[in-house]
Amino acid sequence: MNSMNDSGVGTGPVSGRTSRTHRLRGLAGTGFVAMLAAMVATTLAAALAQAVGVDFEVPDGGEAIPLSGFAVVTGFFSVVGVVIAVAFLHWSARPAERFVWTAVSLTAISLVPPLLSGANTATTTALLGLHLVPATVMIPTLARSLRTRSA
């Protein structure tokens, strides 16, 4: 049964929809801020690695990965993570738990290409670390946001 205000307009289902929209927008906003932080942290870590001599040259193409490439790829996959988090918030009874398991699994899978790239040890090690930097920013931030929004 809907509650009625003085104008005779029901407020039941509409407020539920507004609440869900508010939760999704809040999660997306948190995800956007986390994405920017992850992009900055990853790019700075890559710049630091370059400063100490890592060349980021992958034998497959022979060219070095530019710093902007780290920012773009981090941004893209961070958006993918936010979309996954939003989907779990919308369709799962335990969104934070499901998100963490999925994100950690995908992060582990993302460690395989650097190991198979044929790059030198310094580049491979740096690439592995650079896969973990955005994960340490995005996963806890989105999981915490999912916990507060699904409670």
Q: What is the pLDDT of residues 16-29, one digit of tens each?
A: 566 878 888 999 99
Angle at 15 between CA 12 and CA 18, to 5 degrees: 150
pLDDT of 145 higher than 60: yes
Mean pLDDT calculated for residue range 37-54? 98
pLDDT > 70 in the chain, percent? 86
Angle formed by the axes of helices 12-51 and 67-91, nearest 10° = 150
Query: Is the distance from CB of 102 to CB of 62 less than 8 angstroms?
Result: no
Query: Is the distance from CB of 84 to CB of 99 less than 8 angstroms?
Result: yes
Q: What is the pLDDT of residue 58?
A: 87
Q: Residue 1 carries which side chain, given as an amino acid letter?
A: M
> What's the chain's average pLDDT?
90
* Residue with tokens 């994960």, as numbered in its chain: 135
Residue 64 β-bridge partners:
57
Q: Is the pTM of this model over 0.75?
A: yes
pLDDT of 125 higher than 90: yes
pLDDT of 102 higher than 60: yes
Q: What is the pLDDT of residue 10?
A: 46
